Structure 1
Amino acid sequence: MFRKELYVYDGQKQRKIIIRNYQEKDFQGLIKIQRESFPPPFPEELLWNENQLTNHIQLFPEGSLCAEADGRIIGSITSLRIDYTESDKHHTWDFITDNGYISTHKHNGNTLYVVDICVSPAYRKLKVGKWLLQSLYETVVHLRLDRLLGGGRMPGYHTYKNELSPEEYVHQVVNGTLRDPVISFLLSCGRTPVSLVENYLDDEESCNYGLLMEWKNPLI
């Protein structure tokens, strides 16, 4: 099981953060963080429910992590294992994750796939999301997997959809001309683009696009 403690800077103060596997007692806190992290127009039906969370901790507890500070859940990251080849680039979030229920989890899969990451807006300045991703990188190394993979939302794209194709938008975000709240964050965490995926997720802000991004295990 996974547990680590670390200190992060909040201005001039240091604050203690715990990253650990989430459990049934955390479900209400996890659902609350989802609502804080993904307000409308993000589809409410894509937020976690207790049945999904139960599957996460039963099917793959190693890939179900939360961040805790001040006695409350402040963020989470969820994953599953899949068998991935280069021909599998164009898939939907629904298909690869079974709509977040992760019944598609493969015990011997070669790739750790990120289902979801969210952090309470009040704690994002502490770089909690980056530490959650780092914890999954450590999981990739520990399990001797090939990579971490996942599709990133492009919530800034709707602002430019009449000016730029999705490919042009991604190019400008990657080269630093534009900043996207999610893609730029993932780039700063060491993820690299694999492919643009049309109809990846029902997401009005991203115009339903997602950018598949990976982090390769440097030790294999």
Structure 2
Amino acid sequence: MYRKEGYVFQDGKPILAVVRNYEKKDFKDLIMIQQQCFPPPFPSELWWSEAQLESHVTHYPEGALCVEIGGEIVGSITGLLVDFDPDNPFHTWEEATDHGSIRNHKNSGKTLYIVDISVKPAYRKLDLGKLLMQSVYERVVHDQLDRALGGGRMPGYHKYAEQLTPEQYVECVLSGELKDPVITFLLRCGRTPICVVPNYLDDEESHNYGLLMEWKNPFK
């Protein structure tokens, strides 16, 4: 299984962080993180349930990771393996993840699809999201997969929806004219855009759009 220790920094002070696979004993903590990370208007029915988390650790435990600070779980990332056709990229989050349950995980898949990443708001300045994402990239390289892939929310888009198409909004983020809390973060993590996907997720702030973004295995 996976375990990594490394230092992150808070106000210049190094703090030890541990990334590891999450287990059944962690489920309640993981659900609490979701509640803090995705408050209304984000749909509460999209928070993890214990049944979904059980499915994650059953179908693809290698893609179920959490990060601890001082023994406290403060973030997580979840993935599954899928087949991905770059010539037919459009899909919904529910289709790609089987409604978050990942029962459609394919051991033979060459794309690690990122279902979700969450970090407690109080810990977001420690770059833990980037640490979790790097851990996924390490799995991609170790298992000789093609890419990490996922759809990023566009929560800043609702502020500009009357003036910009979603594609124009993304271009403004890529040019540095605008910043988006999710898309800008994913760019900092090394992800690159593929296309805007309509009706990707029930998400009022993003007007239901998602930006499909990938990280390609540099050794393939």
TM over 0.5: yes
**2:195 maps to which residue?**
195
TM-score normalised per structure 1: 0.99
1:174 partner letter: L
CA deviation string 1:151-206 (max 9, x = no partner): 00000000111111111100000111100000000001100000100000000000
CA deviation string 1:19-53 (max 9, x = no partner): 00000000000000000100100000000000000
TM-score normalised per structure 2: 0.99
- 3-state DSSP class of the match of 1:28? helix
Distance 1:147 1:205 in 2: 28
1:186 partner letter: L
1:41 partner letter: P
Distance 1:135 1:88 in 2: 27
Alignment of 1:93-132 (within 5 A): 93-132=93-132
Identity of aligned residues (%): 60
Distance 2:99 2:46 in 1: 8
Aligned length: 220
Gaps of 5+ in 1: none
Alignment of 1:141-156 (within 5 A): 141-156=141-156
Alignment of 1:1-220 (within 5 A): 1-220=1-220
Distance 1:2 1:60 in 2: 12
Distance 1:202 1:100 in 2: 13
2:14 partner letter: Q
- 3-state DSSP class of the match of 1:101? coil
- 3-state DSSP class of the match of 1:113? strand
Distance 2:88 2:152 in 1: 16
1:77 partner letter: I
Distance 1:147 1:14 in 2: 31
Alpha-carbon RMSD: 0.6
1:175 partner letter: S
Distance 1:57 1:46 in 2: 18
Gaps of 5+ in 2: none
Please report how far the alpha carbon of residue 207 of structure 1 lies from its aligned counterpart in structure 2 after TM superposition: 0.3
Distance 1:147 1:202 in 2: 25
- 3-state DSSP class of the match of 2:171? helix
